[in-house]
Amino acid sequence: MIKVALPVAVASLAMGSALAAPVTYQVDPGHTYPSFEADHFGGMSVWRGKFDSSSGTIVLDKAAGTGTVEITVDTSSIDFGHPKLNEHAKSAEMFDVQKYPTAVYKGTLTNFKNGAPTEAHGELTLHGVTKPLNLTIKSFLCKMTPMSKKERCGADAAATLNRADYGINYGEKYGFNMQVKLAIQVEAEPTG
């Protein structure tokens, strides 16, 4: 009986780990800052800024090589490090944060290598417009942290978009390049 029970128990454990449920991670707003680079006057300089407030969830199944991401950014938290420019960016001429208080990215984690996604395929809703936007995930790591004693996952992702495609075309008539580079640092911990 023991000879039969042991292989069954081992098989059950192996199947249980192979069928592990996806894990939901809550984005840590204190360690997540979508940032960007935007042209000023057609090559005169590059302005850099970030959004100070974001939230979201990431669902990850490392064993299956699947996952999803949903991030919501508070557009009124835009920060160029220049108060006058911040106010202009929030105005109806640009982000129009009164009318469009959030930007939302929803995507599917893809192209897993060694249990880590290298891309996210999805859509960005910005300024009331939804367009496809794929992210390149430059680095992705999950590990236990000494502070929380929980597994924390973090990533560095990047993409380029044309802001005029989203109706944010201020400066185009002055020769501003509408291409914007995004760099997104994100960290998240399991819920519950």
Say how far apart CA 51 and CA 34 lie, in whole Å. Answer: 6
Q: Which has the closest alpha carbon to 127: 172, 165, 183, 159?
A: 165
Query: Which tokens sit at 104?
Result: 């939302």
Give me the half-sphere count of Cα atoms (radius 13 Å) on the Cβ side of residue 185. Answer: 9
Whole-structure pTM value = 0.87
Say how far apart CA 47 and CA 178 lie, in whole Å. Answer: 12
pLDDT band, very low/low/confident/very high, at 19 (cuts 50, 70, 90): low
Say how far apart CA 106 and CA 157 lie, in whole Å. Answer: 14
* Residue-level pLDDT at 5: 42
Helix (H, G, I), strand (E, B) or coil at 174: helix
Say how far apart CA 94 and CA 114 lie, in whole Å. Answer: 41
- For 135-189, the pLDDT digits (tens) are 999 999 999 999 888 899 999 999 999 999 999 999 999 999 999 999 999 999 9
Q: Which domains does the chain have, with CATH numbers?
A: 21-190 (2.40.128.110)
For residues 78-91, average pLDDT: 97
Residues facing residue 154 across a β-bridge: 141, 187
Average pLDDT, the chain: 91
Query: Which tokens sit at 22?
Result: 């996806």
* Residue-level pLDDT at 150: 86
Q: Which has the closest alpha carbon to 135: 162, 154, 110?
A: 110
Q: Which has the closest alpha carbon to 67: 104, 15, 29, 20?
A: 20
Helix (H, G, I), strand (E, B) or coil at 180: strand
Burial (CB < 10 A; 0-12, 13-18, 19+), residue 108, is: middle
Backbone angles phi, psi at 7, to 5 degrees: -60, -35
